[in-house]
Amino acid sequence: MSSPLDRVKEYEFPKVSDPRGNLSFIEEGRHVPFPIRRVFYIYDIPSGSTRGGHAHREQQQLVLCISGAFELRLTDGHREISIPMNRPYKGVYVPPGVWLTMHDFTTGSICLVLCSGEYEESDYIRDLDEYLRLI
């Protein structure tokens, strides 16, 4: 049986390095498999915090760690994938139907998320039991 976890994909974005520092860029049509309708970012994260803890019904996301490091955990309720996030030029595509949590943020880390839709609370499944029933 296919799982939404099978559609999780790691992306590597262009990186332009020169003596002044590195620059990466992301273009909707070239580097992201959905139209970007919203961008949000999480920062000033106290140590020990866990973020996420939900799945999306329809929306697709691309999660980046543009500073510092954290661990991205993705599950379908049966299998779990854990991805170390610590490269600003990498991102992880998270399709709908995947339960996502983020852990072990280092001081000063920043998580940037590109989303396929505007913020809509009705797109979230925040109750793990409900998620496990639906999946």
Q: Compute the least distance from the CB of residue 123 to ligand TYD, in Å.
A: 10
Of 54 and 103, CB closest to ligand TYD: 54
Q: Compute the least distance from the CB of residue 2 to ligand TYD, in Å.
A: 25
Q: Compute the least distance from the CB of residue 59 to ligand TYD, in Å.
A: 10
> Using CB under 6 A, which of the segments 6-14, 26-34, 47-55, 79-87 binds ligand TYD?
47-55
Catalytic-residue membership of 54? yes
CA distance 107 to 60: 27
Of the candidates 3, 35, 9, which has an alpha carbon nearest to the alpha carbon of residue 115?
35
Cβ distance 48 to 126 under 8 Å?
no
42 sits near ligand TYD (criterion: CB under 6 A): yes
Choose, by CB under 6 A, the member of 40, 44, 79, 80 that binds ligand TYD: 40
Determine the straight-line distance between the first and last CA of the chain, rounded to whole angstroms: 11
At position 40, the amino acid (one-letter code) is F
CA distance 93 to 114: 9
Of 23 and 129, CB closest to ligand TYD: 129
CA distance 99 to 113: 15
Chain contacts with ligand TYD (rule: CB under 6 A): 38, 40, 42, 51-52, 54, 119
Q: List the catalytic residues.
A: 54
